[in-house]
Amino acid sequence: MASALIRGMIRAGVTTADLVSTSDPLASTRDELARETGITAAASNFAMVERSDVLVLAVKPQSMGQVLRELAAVVTPDHLVVSIAAGVSIATISDALGAGRRVVRVMPNTPALLGEGASAYALGPNATSDDAAVVQAFLDSVGRAVRVPESQLDAVTGLSGSGPAFVYMIIEALSDGGVRAGLPRDVATMLAAQTVLGSARMVLETNLHPGALKDQVTSPGGTTIAGLHALERAGVRGALIDAVQAAAHRSAELAAVAPQ
Ligand SMILES: NC(=O)C1=CN([C@@H]2O[C@H](COP(=O)(O)OP(=O)(O)OC[C@H]3O[C@@H](n4cnc5c(N)ncnc54)[C@H](O)[C@@H]3O)[C@@H](O)[C@H]2O)C=CC1
Ligand SMILES: O=C(O)[C@@H]1CCC=N1
């Protein structure tokens, strides 16, 4: 996820490679990212803190405890700390880093790589309006971003954080449908992906309700209503609601198991 954000931000021109550093205990990971993007690889998290104003914590929730312990001695109120870890609360991060630390919690998603991310963020009690502006600009450069109360971030994680995987599965299944109906795989996958992309843009750019746009496609006694009936019989709406709810629930569970 960090790689997608770094590449997306440099691609958008909101920062330049010489202003970004990465640290990762896996030398191959940090060196490859540095080589491919032109950013600097730091030898340790400690070295990163010394040279940075904004620290983005992009490790697995299960690794956050260790990282926060490493950083506690060196992070000051002069740093803005941005966490993208699912399920790790602002209170957990603030408690580990010490009083007065400026913390923002973000839930991005991987299409940020292409400037099409969907992100939400919440401010910790010491984060300033300038910090909000920095994070908003950083996320706007890689897609759309919205500020929410922290209590909504598990729901965001279930919807847009995990959502790309749900959509990829839908695209793969639509492509299977095309193949089942006789199309070559490459044609089917292109048509499926472009149909999802175009439909998403229709929702965002016409501001019409998705149900109204659905009705525009659906002729009386036609092909679309036959397909919609099959989807309703299979419970697709319920399955997608369950998927988002399950992922949101898991995000809340990670809060309990994450940094110890
Ligand atoms: N993958 C996704 O679509 C999204 C992930 N996230 C969050 O982003 C975070 C990272 O997830 P991924 O990028 O998928 O995982 P990843 O496993 O691809 O990346 C985590 C990186 O952290 C490094 N790392 C481990 N311990 C470290 C330490 N002590 N110091 C510095 N680096 C360390 C690992 O070597 C690895 O390169 C997670 O907390 C996840 O919840 C949030 C939104 C979307
Ligand atoms: O699966 C995960 O835990 C991460 C968080 C959101 C997307 N991927």
| Distance separating alpha carbons of residues 143 and 150, to the nearest angstrom | 20
**156 in a structural domain:** no
- Percent pLDDT > 90 in the chain is 95
In a domain, 21, yes or no: yes
- pLDDT tens track for 99-132: 999 999 999 999 999 999 999 999 999 999 999 9
Distance of CA 58 from the midpoint of ligand 1 (Å) = 5
Looking at the fold, whether 123 and 24 belong to one and the same domain comes out as yes
Please report, for the domain that includes residue 28, its CATH number: 3.40.50.720
- DSSP, res 40: E
Calpha distance 187→140 (Å, rounded): 33
For 140-187, what is each residue's pLDDT tens digit? 999 999 999 999 999 999 999 999 999 999 999 999 999 999 999 999
Q: Kindly state if the Cβ of 178 falls inside 6 Å of ligand 2.
A: no
Return all residues near 8 (Cβ < 8 A) that are at least 6 apart: 112, 113, 114, 115, 117, 141, 142, 143
pLDDT in tens, 204-247: 999 999 999 999 999 999 999 999 999 999 999 999 999 999 99
Domain boundaries, position 101:
2-148
Determine, yes or no, domain membership for 258.
no
Q: Is the per-residue pLDDT at 260 higher than 80?
A: no
Q: CA 158, CA 147: separation in Å to the nearest integer?
A: 16
**Domain finish residue from 113, 148, 183:** 148
pTM of the model: 0.95
ipTM confidence: 0.98
Both 130 and 38 in one domain: the answer is yes
Q: Is the pLDDT of residue 258 over 80?
A: no
Are 15 and 139 members of one domain?
yes
Number of H helices, E strands in the chain: 12, 7
Q: How many Å lie between the centroid of ligand 1 and the Cα of residue 129?
A: 27
d(CA 137, CA 143): 10
Sheet with strand 102-107: strands edge to edge: 54-57, 80-83, 102-107, 117-123, 143-147
Among the three residues 148, 178, 205, which one is the final residue of a domain in this structure? Answer: 148
| 135 and 167 fall within a common domain | no
Tokens standing for residue 38 = 């032109």
**Distance from residue 61's CA to the centre of ligand 1 (Å):** 8
Q: Are residues 17 and 138 in the same domain?
A: yes
Q: Does residue 169 share a domain with residue 142? A: no
Residue 63 lies in a domain: yes
Q: Count how many domains the chain has.
A: 2
Same domain, 130 and 171: no
Residue 187 belongs to a domain: yes
**Is 101 inside any structural domain?**
yes
Q: Which atom of ligand 2 is nearest to the CA of 107?
A: 6
